[in-house]
Chain A
Amino acid sequence: MAGSFAAYVDDRPADKVFRVDRAIYLDDAVFAAEIANIFEATWQFVCHESQIPNHGDYFANHLGRQPIFVMRQQDGGIGGFVNACAHRGALLTPMKQGNAKTLTCRFHGWTYGSDGHCIRIKNEETGYDPARFRRTDYDLTRLPRVEAYRGFVFACLNPAAPALVEFLGEAARFLEFIAHQSADGMEVLPGSSTYVINGNWKLQSENAVDGYHVSTVHRVFGATVARREERPGYDGMMRTESGRIAGKVENGCYDLGGGHMVIWADRSPPDTSPLFEQKDRLERDYGAAKARWMLGRGRNLIVFPSLMINDFAATQIRTFRPIAADRTEVTIYCLAPRGESKSARYARLRKFEDFFLVSGMATADDVMALEDSQTGSRGRTARWGEFHRGLDSVVHGPDAAARDGKFNPVTSNNTWDQETLYHGFYRRWKALMTTEAIGAKEAAE
């Protein structure tokens, strides 16, 4: 099977051709291979550390099809486990997120400590031959790899995967631009919203860093917000930078390597940002160049394959769980600097609701656009998805803004309208799809 997907990415730089067969959004075999070679074989975001601050706090998620959970340990570390009772496989966490010093299976009452040890088997004494029974045989299965980078917790089913920081590469710098926004760290705010799109997960990954669609798909958002803000009461942080949406500011995009991508645009004006109140501290602690990246520029980041972090009007973590070739579950969290002022938090939340939340004015338009792409991709006589925009202006390596920010992209481009950042995404995709995966099945042997 490996190798047969290579032809789906038509990557001929010398001929100035970069296009992708739209079958990658439709084909069940592609989807199955993505689950095995990408989602069950590379690092995947699980949760933010602020979601599991105390001993016994757990957070359940999936790595591809694999149900897993992470749990804060007594020593403050993070344990990662397969979310299946060692007995008959029932899910162990009653909820997506919660606190439990011990997890008791709801089927037959087997109980596990937060370190994964099996500590109770119902009617153990009448069930097994004491001479050969060892309760430790029934400890939970640990995930091969769990690591955190600046509060972002990742897990991986491949025991031989590189260290998380190596996987993140240049994207680590962009996680830093978020994590350093408060000296006390960042926190995921309570509440989340989950929705299912009738589209492939890659369309959502593309959409996340597609600057080109903003002035089309979100023009109604831009117009509505501009109109609203003519009324009194919309001052300072309560304003949204509708100028940016209209595309009148400096912006750009980067292929960060490893499939990670980012777009950015200047905030216009920067004092509309809830973070503006920390301008002096940021410049003092991190210098003007890094502060400019943290505060002066809005950023959308995709950590390959499906973690999206936005820092534009508000700050957001968005994760995509692939369900089927044509079905993706999206979950949205608001992320905020700990200890920000009440007015900053208030403004952040209102702008989060405005744009990012499922009931906001942007998400519904984005979903329409990407579901249209999914449907249109079925027109197989028009085989290729087009990623040529910006081929003539692409810069290999860093541009001036990247050098300022001390990161080293594979390519830079001069506007966020350009599509050259996707070349890195699909090259990474192709590389993974054409090698033998070491994931869940192999690790189980």
Chain B
Amino acid sequence: MTSAMPQMVDDRIGDGVFRVDRSVYTDPAIFETEMAKIFEGNWVYLCHESQIAKPGDYFSTEIGREPVFVIRKKDGGIACFLNACSHRGAVLTPFKQGNANVLTCRFHGWAYASDGTCIKTKNEESGWPAETFDRSCFNLTPVACVESYRGFVYGSLNADIAPLDAFLGASRAWIDLLVEQSTEGLEVVPGSATYTIRGNWKLQAENSVDGYHVSTVHRVFAATISARESKAEYTGIKKTESGRITGSVPSAAYDLGNGHMAIWAQHTTPEVRPIWERKDDLERRLTPAQVKWILTRGRNLYLFPNMMLMDNPSTQIRVLKPIAADRAEVTVYCIAPKGESQKARIGRLRKFEDFYLTTGMATSDDVAALEDCHDGSHAALSRWNDFNRGMHAIIQGADEDAKALGFTPAACTHNWDHETLFHGFYRHWQALMNRDVPARPPRPGANGKGNGSRNGSAR
């Protein structure tokens, strides 16, 4: 994949202009290039380690257009393979998520161990001459790279990439703010919700760190919650901070580099948050800056290209799977600190349902807004998407807050209404689209075992 992309990003900060051609959302040719160069050419988020806790636990997903599964090996390591039988290509995992010490293909019964070794080909003795047959030729194909950062498992089909630590860069400090909430780590709460949007994946990426839309799109949520919470039984952590949604609290927006973005806004009543019960423990273990960020700042983190990590009224992993230029699948998980009190967990889950879940009061409004954007983006006569807001207020590099917490963003502004964080997203996007990636290797034949692999497993 070496085709050069036309320049879709009009990046002239000096002239006060940053805009993006709206055909980036609608053009099927651009989508195909994104698949090859972004999703199949770089790190993408796969799953959380708590979803594959025990040996044999697997989680199946996609890297770009390619089906893969992650599996916990007997030695505790994590492996990731293309999810296709070496024989005739059938998907091997019967479920999205499950446990199997041996994966048996449902088509012809070939079986594989959790380390990808082919351990049985049905009627092997009558199928091949024993003297030349080498069953290891049929081992599963590992993906080029698998690494985990503090429980968040990433994979890449392309070996020619930076290590995961370098890729995550400044966003690691933001991931840490979630991981440090429990000494036992985090767990994805059972259950998930998946829905399809009739819109481009980048509109969902933008939406996840767009502070500016909150007071418009979610005003009905805020009004509904306020009305509900005027009732007597809504006290303590049952309350949601609807004040924050209507704006006028301190906030900021960060371009974290490598396409990662984040916003935060001040909690007006941090004591209603499920994490508040851990205040003393956090203050004992962590730096004052970390405690301040964890307890009093609601945060939305977008990790390029396919994952969102939210810690606002509740905590959430949201995973993006692009399907076509005008179609994306979104899956929502609740993630929570292990060992929190039952009361805190109940508060967290109810607030998760309120805002984040498909049936909640925010997601459907967000989907309506971004689908409106997708439809409107077909208007070629109105070609440019405008990201100029906040350009006068950009702070390059780390501000005082970032220094105190210990991360170095590309830039920030002190208002989550600002859109300059999207500059980082689209600069990274354009750079990847301009970059050549190695062509995907051909499928292994009888005498090949797939592409060269950096490690094929993590830990």
Residues of A near any B CB (own CB < 8 A):
40, 65-68, 82-92, 105-109, 122-123, 126-129, 132, 138, 140-141, 143-144, 157, 440-441, 443-444
Contacts and interface: CB of A to CB of B under 8 A. Distances in A.
Given A68-B379, A89-B379, 4 more contacts: A83-B376, A106-B369, A143-B381, A441-B380
Given A87-B386, A90-B369, A107-B369, A129 B380 contact: no
A431 to B, nearest CB: 23
Nearest to B365: A106
Given A106-B368, A109-B216, A128-B389, A443 B381 contact: yes
Contacts of B380: 40, 65-66, 440-441, 444
A65 B391 contact: no
A196 B270 CA distance: 52
Interface of B: 16, 22, 25, 206, 212-213, 215-217, 247, 368-369, 372-373, 375-383, 385-386, 388-392, 415, 417-418
A122 B210 CA distance: 14
Nearest to A439: B380
A83 B16 contact: no
A85 B22 CA distance: 12
B375 to A, nearest CB: 5
Contacts, number: 103
B379 A84 contact: yes
B415 A83 contact: no
Contact of B216 (A65, A91, A122, A443): A122
A129 B417 contact: no
B130 to A, nearest CB: 49
B373 to A, nearest CB: 5
Nearest to A129: B392
A105 B382 CA distance: 15
Contact of B379 (A87, A109, A141): A141
B212 A89 contact: no
B382 A107 contact: no
Name which of A68, A92, A109, A144 has the most chain B CB atoms within 10 A of its CB.
A109
A92 B382 CA distance: 13
Question: B216, B381, B390: which has the most chain A beta carbons within 10 Å?
Answer: B381
11 contacts: A66-B379, A66-B380, A88-B385, A92-B376, A106-B372, A108-B216, A122-B215, A127-B389, A143-B381, A144-B381, A444-B383
Nearest to A132: B16
Nearest to B214: A108
Contacts of A132: 16
A378 B22 CA distance: 34
Contacts of A138: 386
Contacts of B16: 129, 132
Given A90-B373, A106-B372, A122-B212, A65 B378 contact: yes
Given A90-B372, A90-B373, A127-B390, A107 B213 contact: yes
Contacts of B418: 127
Contacts of B372: 90-91, 106-107
A126 B247 CA distance: 13
A82 B382 contact: yes
Contact of A89 (B385, B389, B415, B417): B385
Nearest to B248: A123
A332 B414 CA distance: 52
A129 to B, nearest CB: 4
Given A122-B212, A138-B386, A91 B376 contact: yes
Contacts of B388: 128
A141 to B, nearest CB: 4
A441 B376 CA distance: 15
| Main DSSP-derived SS at the A contact region | loop
B373 A89 contact: yes
Contacts of A68: 379
Listed from nearest, the 3 A-B pairs whose CB atoms lie closest are: A84-B376, A129-B392, A90-B372
A141 B380 CA distance: 10
Contacts of A84: 22, 376-377, 379, 382
B216 A88 contact: no
Given A88-B385, A143-B381, A443-B381, A108 B376 contact: no
B221 to A, nearest CB: 14
A89 B368 contact: no
A84 B377 CA distance: 7
Given A87-B386, A444-B380, A108 B212 contact: yes
Contacts of A143: 381
Contacts of B385: 87-89
A157 B381 contact: yes
B382 A89 contact: yes
B372 to A, nearest CB: 4
Chain B CB within 10 A, most for which of A107, A123, A129: A107
A157 B372 CA distance: 21
Contacts of A86: 382, 386
A72 B375 CA distance: 23
A444 B378 CA distance: 13
Contacts of A106: 216-217, 368-369, 372
Nearest to B366: A107
B379 A83 contact: yes
B386 A82 contact: no
B143 to A, nearest CB: 33
Nearest to B378: A65
A157 B376 CA distance: 16
Contacts of A66: 378-381
B378 A67 contact: yes
A68 B22 CA distance: 16
Contact of A82 (B25, B217, B369, B381): B381
Nearest to B383: A444
B369 A123 contact: no
Contacts of B215: 109, 122
A67 B415 contact: no
Contact of A90 (B376, B378, B391, B417): B376
Contacts of A108: 212-213, 216
A123 B376 contact: no
A91 B212 contact: no
Contacts of B381: 66, 82, 141, 143-144, 157, 440, 443-444
Contacts of B417: 122-123, 126-127
Question: Quick one: which of B25, B247, B376, B390 has the most chain A CB within 10 A?
Answer: B376
Contacts of B379: 66-68, 82-84, 89, 141, 440
A435 to B, nearest CB: 19
Contacts of B22: 84, 89
A86 B382 CA distance: 7
Contacts of A87: 385-386
A87 B373 CA distance: 10
Nearest to A68: B379
B216 A107 contact: yes
A142 B280 CA distance: 60
A203 to B, nearest CB: 24
A89 B217 contact: no
B415 to A, nearest CB: 6
Contacts of B415: 126
Nearest to A142: B381
A421 B376 CA distance: 37
A90 B367 CA distance: 12
Contacts of A129: 16, 391-392
A434 B321 CA distance: 40
A286 to B, nearest CB: 40
A355 to B, nearest CB: 33
Given A122-B215, A128-B389, A88 B382 contact: no
B375 A67 contact: yes
A108 B214 CA distance: 8
B8 to A, nearest CB: 14
A340 B386 CA distance: 51
A66 B376 CA distance: 8
A67 B375 CA distance: 7
A444 B19 CA distance: 15
A127 to B, nearest CB: 4
Contacts of B213: 107-108
